[in-house]
Amino acid sequence: MDKKAFSSVLRFMKAKPWLVVGMIAAMFVVTFGEQMLSGVLQDADLKYADYGLGVIRLILQTALSVVLVYAWHRDRNEAAPFSAVDIPKLFVTTLVTVLCVTFLMVTVVLIPLAVFLYLRFDFYMNTYITGRSNGVFSCVGESFRTLKGRTGRYFVFILKYLAFYFLIEIAVTLLSVVPGVPLSESARTALDVFDVIFHSLFMPYRFLLKCGYYDEVLTAED
């Protein structure tokens, strides 16, 4: 299942390079734009500005993710009728799942539970776009059901094909936040730019991996 999912992702990326490149460029604009605005608003000393920017970024990232996931399922004739009205519903679902997982991650002892729920929630967008669920919370429930008995294998799949992503992300985070790391201002700026580019490059890959695995799960169910 793992190799089939990965192979289908590679085939999709080769077949639609314009879409992948477009997603990377759009993600770069969103992430870099947020960082630039964040610096400007911090200089202006505006309260709660970062929270507002975070919400705006989440809205835009959700829209980009919907485009990518919809393109995947439409390419396989799996997509249900979809309209712009559905994007706010998926944003609400995204916000709820992000807040839930983030809240648990803050409580260190609940990190394993947060990881477990993150994995079980991960197919909510796929279940909605394929028409297997059509509500804000029912798509989360369907994702939870779809991964029942498969959470461990999905976790191994994510680690297998995204291990380098997590390792680089941990290294960048440690360099950015650990006190006493001897980094000049220019080095920190370069690190921030690298982080933006890195996230932008791997956003399509991450979501397409999820789509590939979801399709293999459905094939196994049938």
If you ran DSSP here, which 8-state letter would residue 144 be given? H
**Cα–Cα distance, 56 to 54 (Å, whole number):** 5
Predicted confidence at residue 72, as pLDDT, reads 92
**Cα–Cα distance, 181 to 202 (Å, whole number):** 27
Residues of the chain with pLDDT under 70: 1, 38-51, 108, 175-185, 187-188, 222
Domain count, the chain: 1
pLDDT tens-digit profile of 78-124? 888 877 778 888 888 888 888 888 787 777 677 888 888 888 999 99
Predicted confidence at residue 82, as pLDDT, reads 78
Predicted confidence at residue 12, as pLDDT, reads 92
Predicted confidence at residue 110, as pLDDT, reads 78
**Cα–Cα distance, 118 to 144 (Å, whole number):** 10
Predicted confidence at residue 134, as pLDDT, reads 78
Task: Give the global pTM.
Answer: 0.84
Predicted confidence at residue 103, as pLDDT, reads 80
**Cα–Cα distance, 136 to 126 (Å, whole number):** 13
**Cα–Cα distance, 125 to 99 (Å, whole number):** 16
Structural domain for 215, as ranges: 2-221
Half-sphere exposure of residue 176: CA atoms within 13 angstroms, side-chain side? 13
